[in-house]
Amino acid sequence: MKKLVVLTGAGMSAESGFSTFRDAGGLWEKYPVEQVASHDGWLADPELVNRFYNGLRRQLIEARPNRGHELLAALEQHFEVTVVTQNVDNLHERAGSSRVIHLHGELMKVTSSRDVDNPHCIEELSADNYEVQPGQKAKDGSLMRPYIVFFQEAVPMIETAAREVSSADIFVVIGSSLQVYPAAGLLHYVRPGVPVYLIDPQPVSTSVEGITFLRKKASEGMEELTQLLCGRQE
């Protein structure tokens, strides 16, 4: 079974009605990114940051996986699929994808502000209990914070993602502008001769040659990609 590695960005979740950095009118537009998504922002006002992510979780709970998520999950019938996502939502998992690497953290999880990646301090929130209260503590007694990779922080899963990409038989990018690093650099780990597909309705600038561009939104692009890939399988 061939190995398919897929990098997904904000455009993957846009059809699900989940706000992204790029959306006009979304929650992101109401606050400077530095205030709610940076390490300095967290240190300056943790209560504001937790309140902001409480709002994002409320929006995520109401969102549903779109056809693009579902089609990607269905490709597991034909390929060994690994999803590497820049998104912090859980829509891939809810659609049925079984192997998802989150580069920028997971919105429905919280952790210690003293030791962010300590597995004993990472807790998953539920739709019935998704808000972090002011002053709420993690298991180690430090302030509870979102399990999100803030700007100014290292991306701990990038090496794992790079290893996956370097062993891919097919590489696909969906809904990413390839402007956010280090995720955008994953394209350079693709082995020579490996087919690369990029699904996005907007033109994406890259120095990498030989990419097949599908200028469509995630769901429509995944319909076409499924036909291309599964036709190749037959």
pLDDT in tens, 113-167: 999 999 999 999 999 999 999 999 999 999 999 999 999 999 999 999 999 999 9
Instruction: Flag whether pLDDT at 73 surpasses 60.
Output: yes
In 3D, which of 76, 78, 77, 97 has the Cα closest to residue 12?
97
117 and 188 assigned to the same domain = no
166 and 190 assigned to the same domain = yes
What is residue 178's predicted lDDT score, i.e. its pLDDT?
83
Instruction: Flag whether pLDDT at 183 surpasses 90.
Output: no
What is residue 21's predicted lDDT score, i.e. its pLDDT?
54
Q: Which of 78, 102, 104, 120 is catalytic?
A: 104
What is residue 63's predicted lDDT score, i.e. its pLDDT?
93
3 and 80 assigned to the same domain = yes
184 and 207 assigned to the same domain = yes
Find out whether 104 and 148 touch, Cβ atoms under 8 Å.
Answer: yes
Domain range for 203 is 1-16+65-104+154-234
Distances (CA, A) of 221 to 148, 216, 217, 226, 230: 28, 5, 6, 9, 14
24 and 46 assigned to the same domain = yes
Burial of 19 (0-12, 13-18, 19+ CB in 10 A): buried
The answer to whether 39 is a known catalytic residue is no
143 and 219 assigned to the same domain = no
Instruction: Flag whether pLDDT at 24 surpasses 50.
Output: no
What is residue 29's predicted lDDT score, i.e. its pLDDT?
66
Task: Tell me how many helices (H) and strands (E) the chain has.
Answer: 8, 9
Sheet with strand 123-124: strands edge to edge: 123-124, 105-112, 144-148
Is 166 or 233 the better-scoring residue by pLDDT?
166
Amino acid at 15: E
Burial of 155 (0-12, 13-18, 19+ CB in 10 A): middle
Instruction: Flag whether pLDDT at 30 surpasses 90.
Output: no
Instruction: Flag whether pLDDT at 234 surpasses 50.
Output: no
Provide the token pair at 160: 């794992």
What is residue 31's predicted lDDT score, i.e. its pLDDT?
79
In 3D, which of 144, 138, 190, 148 has the Cα closest to residue 166?
190
